[in-house]
Structure 1
């Protein structure tokens, strides 16, 4: 049984989720120890427990350690079975992270799946529904992975209560990724989404974006929505010929509207000035689809510890090497060449 140490690198929940996904795709049992050892509150939180139980549901896995606060889990997967599934986190934890845990196993199964997710839809430190829809899934489609999603209810921390659905199609043909240029910048857009908070907050956030990004009034949008509790997120989008980047910051009580918008503007400015196609967070999320598919190459910003840790966990579980190469002060290339079929439809590099 493969053993993965959750305290390595950045020591967060991604190590746990990557291990679960690869265990299911490769049909290899795994023991994950020291889970989230790098966090102030180690062990499984509700959203990590939801990932574990979602994985168990789609493949009938034998598991141990499935309780809140657990720092060690054993996961013995069975065959992944496509079908209709509902995963409720039971809190405002990120539904997107649960979705990404089971997405590849279901994509690489032999039938269509429909998944309903309940919990948080726009969370800090996790991709939002908008990020999944606008940035992640379109890039997945370039690799040959197809999924459609629809938002039914917004869910912000701490109330949660959001809901969305995903229709996941089995892979027909996978393609290598070759993304070293984003092409021409076609459009930019800022969307501030708010629920149950004073209107002046969104107005101030948009004013700050206009000041920092110098974007015209017509691309700045306020979206007032209904949700179980109050919430706010600033989402900046850059639409290019080859890719869409989404930079987001979730509002918090201790952060002013100006600081929330300023952080999003800073992240978008860094991305645009580097002239790379793949942003920091998307770089992290596209690795597994590449390794389980036909590999490829892309350029991105300086690798985060999150990305470097994910690369190491992938190497430990698959034997596939992912090369990081510094091209210039602000540009790095990421290359992987799978040398054996890692999944039922995996590519030979």
Structure 2
């Protein structure tokens, strides 16, 4: 039994998600104490409970004391059964983070699967759908599997109601090197909004134009159906030969539209100024597939506390050591040994 203190390191829900995925893959049970111990509201939230319930359903696992607000759970894995599954978070909790829990066990299974996930697709506490589809999954697909994700309906915080569908064709994970991002092919800024004034998105685009010296055709406003709102997001995309980086800014009450766009543009400028393959969010998501592949490497920006915590959890299950090595150009090379 692997014992994990959920308040160590970054102390968030990622510990729960990675532990469930790794338990299903390795067959090792675990117990988490102090779940999300460093959050303002400790204990499991609805989206974490849904992720664990989903892991139990497809992995024939059991989980003791699972409930919203629970601070301690004990998870005992069974055999993963690929197939078609549907899970609803029931709130604006992230569908992408539920997918993060289920993806690697299904990628390493022995038959195709289909997931229907309902809840939030665009909220400020998780990568938006576009990041999953354009930034993360293409790297997973280069490693051997074929994973295709479709956005059926947007789900913004706090309403939720979004839906994504994911088709998974499994295959062993092959080690790859992701150290060069290659030439820049395309840049874009899109301000999306639903059931909000057009002026908000227009002001965001104006601020992004000032912050980024990009061609005029790079900027666009997209209005979504009223019933998919209210919601607003700015998506800034830089597509390179080998990787696409997507940075997002979420509109929220009390925060000027210009500030939302300016902060997102600043994060993209920081990435473009580096030579790293992976930005801070892709860095975190690549740790698990690269560890399970047993080799390969990628370059990234300064490791986040989120990533260091993920590395520590992964090490507990697979017995390999994740190493972040400083490079002369200021990037960090990530390898598993």
In 2, the alpha carbon distance for the partners of 1:174 and 1:45 equals 31
Following superposition of structure 1 onto structure 2, how do residues 101-112 of structure 1 map, counting pairs within 5 Å?
101-112=101-112
How big is the alpha-carbon RMSD for the aligned residues of Structure 1 and Structure 2? 1.1
CA offsets 1:142-170 (integer angstroms, 9 cap, x no match): 21132111111110011110011001111
Segment drifting more, 38-47 vs 184-193: 184-193
Residue 204 of structure 1 pairs with residue 215 of structure 2:
no
In 2, the alpha carbon distance for the partners of 1:308 and 1:203 equals 38
Shift of 1:294: 3.5
CA offsets 1:210-260 (integer angstroms, 9 cap, x no match): 110111220111111124430011111111111111111211112111111
Partner of 1:234: 234
In 2, the alpha carbon distance for the partners of 1:257 and 1:330 equals 33
TM-score, normalization by structure 2:
0.97
Change (3 A) 1:52 1:281: same
TM-score, normalization by structure 1:
0.94
In 2, the alpha carbon distance for the partners of 1:125 and 1:303 equals 18
Provide the secondary structure at the position in 1 that maps to 2:316.
Answer: helix
In 2, the alpha carbon distance for the partners of 1:5 and 1:321 equals 19
Shift of 1:60: 1.4
Structure 2 runs not aligned, ≥5 long: none
In 2, the alpha carbon distance for the partners of 1:319 and 1:174 equals 17
Shift of 1:318: 1.7
Verify the 8 A CA contact 1:209 1:215 in the aligned structure 2.
no
Provide the secondary structure at the position in 2 that maps to 1:292.
Answer: helix
Provide the secondary structure at the position in 2 that maps to 1:133.
Answer: helix
Partner of 1:182: 181
Provide the secondary structure at the position in 2 that maps to 1:210.
Answer: helix
Following superposition of structure 1 onto structure 2, how do residues 253-272 of structure 1 map, counting pairs within 5 Å?
253-272=253-272
Partner of 2:86: 86
In 2, the alpha carbon distance for the partners of 1:255 and 1:24 equals 41
Verify the 8 A CA contact 1:158 1:229 in the aligned structure 2.
no
In 1, the alpha carbon distance for the partners of 2:10 and 2:279 equals 19
CA offsets 1:101-148 (integer angstroms, 9 cap, x no match): 001101111111111010000111211111111101111112113211
Partner of 1:191: 190
Verify the 8 A CA contact 1:235 1:248 in the aligned structure 2.
yes
Shift of 1:329: 6.5
In 2, the alpha carbon distance for the partners of 1:254 and 1:18 equals 34
Change (3 A) 1:275 1:218: same
In 2, the alpha carbon distance for the partners of 1:229 and 1:194 equals 8
Verify the 8 A CA contact 1:297 1:333 in the aligned structure 2.
yes
Residue 20 of structure 1 pairs with residue 1 of structure 2:
no
Verify the 8 A CA contact 1:191 1:234 in the aligned structure 2.
yes
Provide the secondary structure at the position in 2 that maps to 1:35.
Answer: coil
Q: Give the length in aligned residue pairs.
A: 336
Verify the 8 A CA contact 1:234 1:250 in the aligned structure 2.
yes
Provide the secondary structure at the position in 1 that maps to 2:222.
Answer: strand
Segment drifting more, 74-83 vs 224-233: 224-233
Verify the 8 A CA contact 2:94 2:126 in the aligned structure 1.
yes
Provide the secondary structure at the position in 2 that maps to 1:151.
Answer: strand
Verify the 8 A CA contact 2:193 2:201 in the aligned structure 1.
yes
Verify the 8 A CA contact 2:190 2:236 in the aligned structure 1.
yes
Provide the secondary structure at the position in 1 that maps to 2:293.
Answer: coil
In 2, the alpha carbon distance for the partners of 1:204 and 1:99 equals 33
Verify the 8 A CA contact 2:2 2:29 in the aligned structure 1.
yes
Partner of 2:284: 284
In 1, the alpha carbon distance for the partners of 2:256 and 2:328 equals 35
In 2, the alpha carbon distance for the partners of 1:239 and 1:333 equals 21
